[in-house]
């Protein structure tokens, strides 16, 4: 396949990385996309893979030179719940990892960067609903603090060095192809697996804890779409608000019950519920829609049917 891009996905074993790299390979050709992570992927893979930490500048530089990388998707990060237990490591990975990549762009080794921020940049002083792009950002997790600092870094490198870095504030991402790890919104993936395997689930958030969420297919679509947009359309160089669905654990439980009638959920909120309590319930993404044409495709019932259909197939194949 003819492509002028050579793409490096850092964090290609992660929840989003696993799905993103496959989509990028199909779009740009397996020979043009390289994955990297701290460990070899568990499953057999068809793409080129390099073992590397984003904090290892020398190894990263070798990879960038070896494949003549043009675009980097930097997905390696400590998420909210894990970050609270590892404050220094979360700051180090989330900020110094980003700085390494921004500096490669400054040295003109790469051309374009995607780096995700999160709804965790908002905090208890932000309005709860329809949170606007420029509403107050006073995060109360180290994850949110590092994402907010990262947004400022991206904007600084764009203004000072003309670095083409693009970012969106991911809500909780839900999919069936990969598992999340270390986040507060992870329950919304776990609940499907437990519903199908055991018809019961113990939820670590309280039943009415509404959060902004998004189906993986929409998140991948947004990620590739912001990277493919002409530079002049990307007017915000901190990070774009992005929105799709909002629901509580109780609402997703009811939706799953339409497919699995005997499904039961016990609510046993832990410290992650306090993190979620500081986050918004819904996001306004007018700028993303206006500037680069973002539009989600999935609503709650469509997403739930799709996940259940695919997980049923996956688990029944395993039994054979
Ligand atoms: C988390 O729960 O930490 C993440 C996020 C909302 O960015 N999924």
Q: Whose CA is nearest to atom 8 of ligand 1?
A: 172
| Residue 289, in any domain of the structure | no
Among candidate residues 143, 158, 187, 240, the one labeled active-site is 143
- Checking if the pLDDT of 320 tops 60, the result is no
- Within this chain, do residues 116 and 154 fall inside the same structural domain, yes or no? yes
- Within this chain, do residues 234 and 111 fall inside the same structural domain, yes or no? yes
Range of the domain at 231: 7-171+216-240
Element (H or E) spanning 17, and its range?
A: helix 15-28
- Within this chain, do residues 120 and 187 fall inside the same structural domain, yes or no? no
| Residue 293, in any domain of the structure | no
| Residue 292, in any domain of the structure | no
The string of pLDDT tens digits covering residues 173-185 is 999 999 999 999 9
Q: b/e for 1-25, b at 16 or more Cβ within 10 A?
A: eeeebbbbbbbbbbbbbbbbbbbbb
The string of pLDDT tens digits covering residues 6-54 is 999 999 999 999 999 999 999 999 999 999 999 999 888 999 999 999 9
Could you tell me the CA-to-CA distances from 295 to 96, 119, 298 in Å, in that order? 32, 18, 10
- Checking if the pLDDT of 319 tops 80, the result is no
Closest CA to 304 of 255, 250, 263: 255
- Within this chain, do residues 180 and 134 fall inside the same structural domain, yes or no? no
The verdict on the CB of residue 175 being under 6 Å from ligand 1 is no
SS3 of 108-177: CCCCEEECCEEHHHCCCCCCCCCECCCCCCCCCCHHHHHHHHHHHHHHHHHHHHCCEEECEEECEEECCC
Are 256 and 308 in contact by the 8 Å Cβ rule? The answer is yes
Angle between helices 187-198 and 249-257 (to 10 degrees): 30
Are 161 and 110 in contact by the 8 Å Cβ rule? The answer is no
215 in helix, strand or coil? Answer: strand
Domain count, the chain: 2
* Mean pLDDT computed over every residue of the chain: 97
pTM of the complete model beyond 0.95: yes
Q: How far apart are the first and last CA of the chain?
A: 37
16, 80, 173, 282: residue to mutate for ligand 1 pocket, most atoms within 8 A of CB: 80
State the distance from the centre of ligand 1 to the C-alpha of 233, rounded, in angstroms.
27
Closest CA to 311 of 181, 220, 216: 216
- Within this chain, do residues 159 and 100 fall inside the same structural domain, yes or no? yes
State the distance from the centre of ligand 1 to the C-alpha of 250, rounded, in angstroms.
19
| Residue 72, in any domain of the structure | yes
Residue 51's pLDDT is: 98
The verdict on the CB of residue 79 being under 6 Å from ligand 1 is yes
The CATH number given to whatever domain includes residue 180 is 3.90.25
Percent over 70 (pLDDT), the chain: 99
- Within this chain, do residues 81 and 181 fall inside the same structural domain, yes or no? no
Residue 234's pLDDT is: 98
Are 159 and 237 in contact by the 8 Å Cβ rule? The answer is yes
| Residue 204, in any domain of the structure | yes
- Within this chain, do residues 14 and 156 fall inside the same structural domain, yes or no? yes
The verdict on the CB of residue 15 being under 6 Å from ligand 1 is no
The CATH number given to whatever domain includes residue 235 is 3.40.50.720
- Within this chain, do residues 110 and 197 fall inside the same structural domain, yes or no? no
- Within this chain, do residues 205 and 249 fall inside the same structural domain, yes or no? yes
The verdict on the CB of residue 282 being under 6 Å from ligand 1 is no
| Residue 132, in any domain of the structure | yes
* Strand-pair category, 164-166 with 211-215: unpaired
- Within this chain, do residues 178 and 64 fall inside the same structural domain, yes or no? no
Contacts of 25 (CB under 8 A, 6+ apart): 32, 33, 46, 47
- Within this chain, do residues 127 and 233 fall inside the same structural domain, yes or no? yes
Residue 1's pLDDT is: 63
Are 252 and 308 in contact by the 8 Å Cβ rule? The answer is no
Contacts of 32 (CB under 8 A, 6+ apart): 1, 3, 5, 6, 7, 25
Q: Whose CA is nearest to atom 6 of ligand 1?
A: 172
The string of pLDDT tens digits covering residues 67-100 is 999 999 999 999 999 999 999 999 999 999 999 9
The verdict on the CB of residue 185 being under 6 Å from ligand 1 is yes
Q: Is 143 a catalytic residue?
A: yes
| Residue 303, in any domain of the structure | yes
168, 178, 184, 281: residue to mutate for ligand 1 pocket, most atoms within 8 A of CB: 184
- Within this chain, do residues 163 and 178 fall inside the same structural domain, yes or no? no
The verdict on the CB of residue 275 being under 6 Å from ligand 1 is no
The verdict on the CB of residue 212 being under 6 Å from ligand 1 is no
* Strand-pair category, 200-203 with 264-267: parallel
């Amino acid at each position: 396949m003819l492509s002028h891009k050579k793409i490096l996905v850092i964090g290609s074993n992660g929840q989003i990385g696993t799905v993103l790299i496959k989509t990028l390979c199909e779009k740009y050709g397996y020979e043009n996309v390289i994955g990297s992570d701290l460990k070899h992927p568990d499953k057999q893979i068809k793409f080129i893979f390099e073992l590397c930490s984003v904090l290892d500048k020398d190894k990263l530089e070798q990879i960038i030179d070896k494949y003549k990388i043009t675009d980097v998707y930097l997905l390696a990060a400590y998420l909210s719940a894990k970050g609270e237990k590892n404050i220094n490591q979360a700051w180090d990975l989330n900020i110094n990892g980003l700085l390494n990549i921004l500096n490669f762009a400054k040295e003109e080794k790469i051309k374009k960067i995607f780096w995700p921020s999160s709804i965790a940049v908002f905090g208890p002083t932000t309005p709860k609903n329809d949170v606007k792009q420029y509403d107050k950002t006073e995060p109360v997790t180290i994850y949110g603090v590092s994402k907010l600092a990262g947004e400022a870094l991206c904007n600084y490198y764009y203004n000072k060095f003309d670095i083409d870095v693009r970012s969106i504030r991911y809500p909780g991402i839900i999919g069936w192809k990969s598992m999340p790890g270390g986040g507060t919104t992870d329950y919304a993936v776990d609940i499907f697996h437990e519903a199908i395997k055991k018809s019961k689930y113990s939820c670590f958030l309280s039943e009415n804890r509404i959060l902004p969420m998004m189906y993986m297919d929409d998140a991948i679509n947004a990620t590739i779409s912001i990277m493919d947009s002409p530079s002049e359309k990307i007017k915000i160089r901190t990070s774009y608000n992005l929105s799709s669905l909002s629901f509580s654990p109780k609402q997703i439980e009811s939706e799953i019950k339409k497919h699995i009638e005997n499904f039961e959920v016990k609510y046993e909120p832990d410290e992650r519920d306090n993190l979620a309590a500081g986050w918004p319930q819904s996001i306004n993404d007018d700028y993303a829609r206006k500037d680069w044409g973002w539009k989600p495709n999935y609503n709650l019932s469509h997403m739930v049917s799709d996940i259940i259909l695919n997980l049923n197939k996956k688990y029944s194949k395993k039994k054979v």
